[in-house]
Amino acid sequence: MKILAEHESKNLLSKYGINVPKFKIIENEEDLNKLNMRYPVVLKISSPKILHKTDVGGIILNINNKRRLLNEYKKLKEKFPKEKIMVEEMMNKGIEIIIGVIDDDVFGKCIMVGMGGIFTEAYKDVSFRMLPIKKEDAIEMIRELKAYRILKERLKLNERILQDLLLKIADIAMQINIKQLDLNPVFLYEKSAVVIDAKIIMEE
């Protein structure tokens, strides 16, 4: 198995037409000086060895100016000298969703959707299907969620955006050797979806 770093996961998703925030791998301070990105930005390590960046202090949010960006970059470089560091545009918050794929020894490849972000562990509100799936399966998965009425009525979920994303992820998982995929959170907006954090493990 091969664990992809976050920037590799996002490059793969982008290749298949999945939206991710604008990002750049930073090799040195000069790269930051040349940076053409709107603030606020996020600075984080991108490493196949560290999948839970928050737990190790490997992510800094809401950086609003170049001076702070340079300072935070130096601190991260000192703390994680051997890891790649990426800077990324910070997205406005959307409806937080988790989408996952797992290649199970018994059932084969399965796709999952559920409440994302901090709600993932708290509510464990998820729905699964074996791959491949059709549009009807994606609709059923979304509507099986216990939070569906809240998502639809209070948060004004655009179901079609989420359906399309589920079908895209399902197609990718069937085309390439993904062992495990974890997109959490995905921000859903009125007319689009953006993958904020991505972890992918490939079958070698």
Ordered alpha helix ranges (H), the chain:
6-15, 29-33, 66-79, 119-123, 135-144, 148-149, 159-175
Which residue from 35, 53, 42, 55 is spatially nearest to 92, judged by alpha carbons? Answer: 42
SS3 call for 23? strand
Scan for tokens 């079609």, then name that residue: 160
Q: What residue ranges define each of the domains in the chain, with the CATH number in brackets?
A: 2-7+18-89 (3.30.1490.20), 95-202 (3.30.470.20)
Where is average pLDDT lowest: 51-65, 115-129, 153-167, 181-195? 115-129
| 107 pLDDT more than 90 | no
Confidence of residue 119 (pLDDT cuts 50, 70, 90): low
pLDDT tens for each residue of 23-38: 999 999 999 988 999 9
